[in-house]
Structure 1
Amino acid sequence: MKRYEYTILPEYSPLYPSLPYRYKDYQKVSVYCRGDRKGLQQFLPKEFELTSDIFEVFVLQNNEIEGLDLYSEGGVVIPCSYKGINGACVAFEYVDQDDALCAGREIWGYPKKLAEVTFDVNEGNITGSITRRGKKIIDINFEKDSKEVKQPVLSPRLQVKRMPHPEFKGTDLNTIIKNELQDTEIKRKVFGNATLNIEESAEDPLSELGVKEVIGAVYIEGAFTLTYGEIVENLK
C-alpha cells in the first residue's frame, strides 16, 4: 500500500491532496450590493474591522480543476481590515463536495458548508443559486449590460482559522490567515445588472446582511491557483 506524507487524516487515505490546486477553467457571477454596516459587521470575526458597505455575493462553477474533485460554490465576501492589512473576509461559503469543504476549512479557515449549487448560462442571461436544507439562501439572475461597476477591494482574503479544544470549551487553534490567489487569469469579463433574492434561514442568516441596493454585477470566466497562505498572527 502506498504511504502518504500528509499531516491530515486519515494519512493512509487522505480526503484531499496536498497543495497547490489549479483552477484551470471557472465561470463566476458576482453581485455587488450596498448593505447595512451594522448588519455586515456582525458577520465578520470580532478581530476584523469593516472597511466598506459594498460587498459581494457570488456563485461559481468550476469546469476543470487540477488537485480537487470538480465542485461548485457560492458565498458572501465582506471588505475588512486587520491591523492595517486591507482585504476581505469570506463570511459565508457553500460548496457541493466534501474534499473542497474540508480542505477549505482545515487549511485556511474558510467557513464552508455543504449545499446544492446550480449555475446556468443562456446567452446573456446567467442564473446561479445556493440551496441548503430546503432554503434557497442565494438566488442570482444576471443580465448583460454595458454599465461597468467599481468593484470593492476583495483581496487578499483575511480569515480566522479556529478549532475547538478537545479537553474543554475554548479554542485549540486560533489564527489569523492571509491568503491570495496566484496566477490569476481573466479570460472573459462581462458587466451587467442582476436581481438577488435571499430566503430567510435561521441556520444561514444571509437575510440579515441588510441589502439596501444592488449596484451592479459582473460575469467572469478565468483561472487561478490556490496555494498556501500566510499566518498573520497566532491569537491566544
Structure 2
Amino acid sequence: MRSQDVTQQLTTPLNAPAYPPGPYRFTDREYFTITYRTDPRPLERLVPEPLRIAEPTVRFEVIRMPDTTGLGDYTESGQLLSVEYQGERGEYVLAMYVDSLPAIASGREISVYPKKLGAPRLAVDSDTLVGTLDYGSLRVATATMGYKHAPLDTDRAREGICCPTFMLKICPDTPASRGSANWSGSGSRTSP
C-alpha cells in the first residue's frame, strides 16, 4: 500500500477498519433519560478545570440506536453532568457505555466521546420502560418508568438533546501535547 493511500485511512487495521467513514445517519433513536440531584462534592472531584459545576445534577441516559449507517444496531448509556464553561451552560460527558465496537471506536477517535464497552439495554416489560446498564457481570444501573403514559413536549425533548456538550481529549506521549489537554465541544450529541 502506498503512503498516500495510508494517510487517507481513518483507522486501522488497514484492510478491515474498526469503523467506516461517515457521515453517519441515525434513524429511529429512542432516548430514556433520568435526571437526579446529588452531592456536589463528588462532582467537583470528577469535573476537570476549567469546567465548573452548574448544578449538582446527573443525567443518566440509555439510547437505542436500531439503525445507524455504517455502525449497525447498538445501545449506549451515559452520565452527563450539568456544567458551565466560559459562561455557557452545557453538559460534561462523564462516561458512556456501549455494546458495539464500531460505535466505541468511532465515538472515541472521531468525536471525543468517553466510550467504554458495556451492556446497556432499553426494553419494554409489560407496561414499563426499563433501562439497564451492566458492566461485566455487574448490574450498575436500573431505571424504570411507565411506558408511554404521557407525551413529552417536542421542544423540551429537543432542548434536552441539543444542549452544548463538553468532552476532554487526552493525547499522551506526543511532544505537542505533553502536559496539556484539548477541549472539544459540540452543539448536540448527533455523532456516534
- Band the TM-score falls in, shorter-chain normalisation: 0.7 to 0.9
Distance in 2 between residues matched to 1:28 and 1:147, nearest whole Å: 13
Could you say what secondary structure the match of 1:14 adopts?
coil
Distance in 2 between residues matched to 1:172 and 1:42, nearest whole Å: 19
Partner in structure 2 of residue 159 of structure 1: 167
- Normalising by structure 2, we get a TM-score of 0.80
Deviations 1:15-43 (A, max 9, x none): 11222211111112111101111122222
Could you say what secondary structure the match of 1:19 adopts?
coil
Q: In the alignment, does 2:100 pair up with 1:93?
A: no
Could you say what secondary structure the match of 1:79 adopts?
strand
Distance in 2 between residues matched to 1:56 and 1:12, nearest whole Å: 39
Structure whose residues are more often helix by fraction:
2
Could you say what secondary structure the match of 1:42 adopts?
helix
Q: In the alignment, does 2:19 pair up with 1:16?
A: yes
Partner in structure 2 of residue 210 of structure 1: none
Runs (4+) of structure 1 moved beyond 6 Å? 147-154
State the Cα distance separating 1:163 from its structure 2 match. 2.3
Which stretch has the larger CA shift, 32-41 or 5-14? 5-14
Could you say what secondary structure the match of 2:73 adopts?
coil
Partner in structure 2 of residue 176 of structure 1: 183
AA aligned to 1:175 is: N
Partner in structure 1 of residue 121 of structure 2: 118
Unpaired segments ≥5 residues, structure 2: none
Residues 107 and 191 of structure 2 are in contact (CA less than 8 Å); yes or no, is this contact kept in structure 1?
Answer: no
Match of 1:25 among 13, 23, 28: 28
Residues 87 and 153 of structure 1 are in contact (CA less than 8 Å); yes or no, is this contact kept in structure 2?
Answer: no
Partner in structure 2 of residue 234 of structure 1: none
Identity of aligned residues (%): 23
Q: In the alignment, does 2:177 pair up with 1:226?
A: no
Match of 1:60 among 60, 63, 70: 63
Which stretch has the larger CA shift, 3-12 or 136-145? 3-12
Residues 165 and 172 of structure 1 are in contact (CA less than 8 Å); yes or no, is this contact kept in structure 2?
Answer: no
Deviations 1:171-203 (A, max 9, x none): 487310012338xxxxxxxxxxxxxxxxxxxxx
Partner in structure 2 of residue 186 of structure 1: none
- Normalising by structure 1, we get a TM-score of 0.67
Higher relative CO (Cα under 8 Å, sequence separation at least 6) belongs to 1
AA aligned to 2:191 is: L
Distance in 2 between residues matched to 1:160 and 1:175, nearest whole Å: 6
Distance in 2 between residues matched to 1:171 and 1:102, nearest whole Å: 23
Task: Give the superposed CA RMSD.
Answer: 2.9
Deviations 1:132-189 (A, max 9, x none): 122211111112555979889662111011122168xx8487310012338xxxxxxx
Unpaired segments ≥5 residues, structure 1: 183-224, 228-236
Structure whose residues are more often strand by fraction:
1
